[in-house]
Structure 1
Amino acid sequence: MNNQTVSTLNDLLQITNDRIEGFNKVEDKVWEKYPNLKSDYNNMVDQSQKMRLELKSLISERNGDADDSTTVAGGLHRTWIDVKNAFSSDNAESTLENVTFGENAAIQAYEKALDSGDLCPESSRVVQDQLHSLKASYEKFKNLENRHD
C-alpha cells in the first residue's frame, strides 16, 4: 500500500504542478476584462502552492521521492493554449475556458485517486480536502464562463 500511495500521490503532485504551470499562462488581459477575478485567481495560485507542499510532505512521510515534474498531457494542453490564444480574438474568454478545462481535469484525477483505494487514510483525508478546494474554484470560474456564453 505504501508504494501505491506514494505513486498515486506523485500522480497528484504532477497534476498540481500542471495546474501551477497553467496558471502561468493566464495573461494580464484577463484582469483588464475581469478585474474582480484577480483575487480569486491569486487564491487559486496560493492554494496550488499549498497543495503541492502538502503532497510533497505526504510523499516524504511515506519514505517516497517526490516527482516534481509535470504530465505530458498537461504540457500538450499548455501548448494548445498557446496555439488557441494566438488565433483567438478574445484571449480573456479563451483563457477562462482553459482554466475551467484544467480544473475539471484535476478534479477527475483527484476523484480517480480517491476511488482507486491506493491511498492510506491520512492521504485520503488530505486529497479529499484538496478535491473540495478544486471543486470550489472550478465552480467559480465555470459560473463566470456560463454567464458570458
Structure 2
Amino acid sequence: MQNETVLNQLQFLLGTLRDGKKGFADAAAHATSPDLAQLLTARSEQRGTFERQIAEQITALGGKPDQHSSLGAALHRTWLNIRDALSGRDDHAVLAECVRGEGVAVENFTDVLSEMELPADLRALIQHQFAAVKESHTQLLDMQNQVG
C-alpha cells in the first residue's frame, strides 16, 4: 500500500464531504419546510465533522488537506444555480438534488473502500462515515417519495 495512493483517496473523500457540507447548507436555505431545513442543516454539520476527521487523517499521514471542492461538484452547483434562476425550487426538488448528491457520495465511498487496502483504523473510520451516508441517502429518498 502506497502512502501517496491512500492520501489521494482521502483527498477524494475530503472533496466529497466538503461538497456535501456545502450542498446540504444550500439545500437547507432553499427548503420551505422548517423541519426539512433543520434536517438538511444537521446533515451539513455532520459532513463538516466527517470532513474534519478525514483532514486529520491526511495530516497524520503527512499530507496537507486540499482546500477546495471537486470540480465536478462545482460545475453541478453552477448548473443548479442556472436552473434555479429559471424555475425556482420546492421541497421535492430540494430533496431530489439531495438524493442525487448522496447517491454520488455513496458511489465515492464505495469506490474508495472497494479499491484500496487501508489500515484497520482508517478503514473503520471510513466505513462509519459510509454507513451514515448510506442511511442518509435512504432516508432522503424515502422523504422524496413521500413528498412527490
> For structure 2, which runs of at least 5 residues remain unmatched after alignment?
none
Matched, 1:137 2:142: no
Range moving further from structure 2, 69-78 or 114-123: 114-123
SS of the residue corresponding to residue 141 of structure 2 reads: helix
Matched to 2:93, the amino acid is: S
Structure 1 contact 9–59 (Cα < 8 Å) conserved: yes
C-alpha separation between the residues in 1 aligned to 2:63 and 2:142? Answer: 38
Aligned residues: 147
User: What's the TM-score, normalizing by structure 1?
Assistant: 0.89
Question: Residues 29 and 63 of structure 1: is their aligned pair in 2 closer, same or farther, counting only changes over 3 Å?
Answer: closer
Structure 2 contact 99–141 (Cα < 8 Å) conserved: yes
Q: Give the superposed CA RMSD.
A: 1.6
Counterpart position of 2:15: 14
User: What's the TM-score, normalizing by structure 2?
Assistant: 0.90
Aligned-pair identity in percent equals 21
C-alpha separation between the residues in 1 aligned to 2:50 and 2:106? Answer: 13
Matched to 1:9, the amino acid is: L
> For structure 1, which runs of at least 5 residues remain unmatched after alignment?
none
Counterparts of 1:1-149 in structure 2 under 5 Å?
1-26=2-27, 28-30=29-31, 32=32, 34-88=33-87, 90-149=89-148
Matched to 2:12, the amino acid is: D
Q: Deviations over 1:43-70 (max 9, x none)?
A: 2111111101100111111111111211
Q: Larger relative contact order (C-alpha < 8 A, sep ≥ 6)?
A: 1
